[in-house]
Amino acid sequence: MTKNSQIASMILGEVASSGVARGPALVCACAEHATGPRRVVSETEAQKEMEKLDAAISEVEMELLDLQKKVQQRVGKEEAAIFEAQILLLHDPSLREEISTRCLIGKINIETAVDEAIEKMASLFIQIEDRYFRERAADVRDVGKRLLDNLTKSQSPGIPTLSGGSVIVTSELLPSVTAQLDSQKIRGLVVEKGGQTAHATILARALGIPLLIHVSDATKLIRTGDRLIIDGLAGRVFINPTSAILREYDQLEADLQAHKTDLQGLIKLPTVTRDGVAIKLCANIGKSADAAAAATLNADGIGLYRTEFAFFVQDHLPSEEEQYEIYRSTADRLKPREVVIRVLDIGSDKLLQYFPLPLEANPSLGCRGIRLLLAYPEILRTQLRAIFRLSATHPVSILFPMVGGMEELLAVKAAIESVKASLAVEHQPFNPRVSIGAMIETPSAAILILRLAQEVDFLSIGTNDLVQYLLTADRTSSEVASYYEPLHPAVLQVLASLATAAKAKCKSISVCGEMAGNPAYTKLLLGLGFRSLSVSPSEILEIKNTIRSTHLQQAEDFVRRILQLDTIQEIKQYLRDEKDPMY
């Protein structure tokens, strides 16, 4: 096909690493692996097959250690830790058990056993509701690909030979492939699968490579050699763009460079509205790398430290000492700023291989969060002891997830008093006045807000769960995605009532869900009465920019009018009429 006969078109995706890029497409199957034919083996052969597996595991571990070293030198220590997690997966006891059962008992060749076991483990991760854990399926497949490539002695597709300035188009991007990309040769990435917290995405952001994920049928609609523009702001891929579109993006790239320079200039400026009202802007983190980024961007503190990562990277329930060291390392990054530590929030939908839980038909409505911790009090007690020990030297607060009512809150407060008493008997130093908070994520907690506020020092709204529970719309389901709408009048009315109740009880209240990190909702949240937001480190500067561009009195007038509207359509139309660029 000649350039003149190439048809201009556009497809949509989700922005995972922002920016604008252009270049010739290189379509590749970066995640494919070789398996070979399925074979039946004898008992003697099965033993030899397992020996082959052990040899392959040793070689793959060496490969991962080498890759970790290279990533640490090129990108950073925290990004390199991704491959520590992959090494743990490589030695995961449950994975080995699945493989050995298929090979030794099922009498099948080791390549097929590994392939089937990897697919089973990956499918378990995919079923997990929590996005972070669900996106670890790519790491499982990445480890599986390396094992199978080693066992089959094949070179399955990975990193293609690149010409300068290419845009890679693939079905799935694996962390080990991303880690080896040369940002001088790769302008951008277009991926059919992927996730916002996937390790491949984290690496792409660290390398500064624009990335779009969930681009349906990209490998079918784009051919190698097609000229592409990736709009990593609006989530668009232009295929063989017209000269008019090219001119538009010439201007956009110039504007983006100027905007990026402006945002960097905000780092040392205070987070205040145009009329001088201070807003607390904190970071949501899951690991030490996030804390380092938050400190670099001058966040006011950590508004939500998700501690699940500390459990996920272990092959056992972390001890009190292990947790203390992990939390201390993270808090050191922000000292003397406060770190709000959310205790473990898992359920049967959040997989910890060493802590199997009974499967539930509807994990979102099952034993998770605070309910699960009360069912396993030793896990809660160990974590609380680690946090209180940290409080002796660092300003920390404790946040309880998925609070449903007073009974649960009073039970965890009793656990806190027990821990404080035991530490005092042991002469362990701690701060007896550590602030205690409750997450408002359930309708029952929203209804009981005035009562709950009397028992805690602060409140934090998890909008992701609160919206889905209020609207009975699973945010992970494509079938009901259109019903998950943060601008629903019911959601806005509830948020307004929560801000009012917290003010009446003189308790601080923060918004830490996805609404807080979306600049489209910043003016709305400020107008509703919230003066504290907690967002991903990558969102801090954009949200600060929006706050500093907002006049609080105007935002409050804006919200008063919105709260009088009855439908989502009316609210969105009002926003468009107000010429809000986000709508």
Q: Which residues are catalytic?
A: 199, 512
**Integer angstrom CA distances of residue 470 from 437, 438, 483, 525:** 21, 18, 11, 18
Measured CA distances, 128 to 19, 121, 172, 346, 542 (Å) = 30, 11, 19, 10, 30
Fill in the DSSP letter of residue 398. E
Exposed/middle/buried for residue 40 (C-beta within 10 Å: 0-12, 13-18, 19+): exposed
- Token digits of residue 458: 């602060």
CB 397 within 8 A of CB 340: yes
End-to-end CA distance of the chain: 39
The DSSP 8-state label assigned to residue 173 in this structure reads: -
What residues are paired with 435 via a beta bridge? 397
For tokens 């660029």, name the residue.
581
Is there a contact between 397 and 332 (Cβ–Cβ < 8 Å)?
no
Q: Which amino acid is at 27?
A: V
200, 206, 207, 208: CA torsion to nearest 10? 110
Output phi, psi for 535, to 5 deg: -135, 170
Torsion of CA 325, 327, 329, 332, to 10 degrees: -130
- Structure tokens of 251? 């201007």
Residues 6+ apart with CB under 8 A from 135: 125, 194, 195, 196, 197, 198, 199
Nearest in space to 21 (alpha carbons), one of 158, 193, 208, 272: 208
Other Cβ atoms within 10 Å of 452 Cβ, number: 23
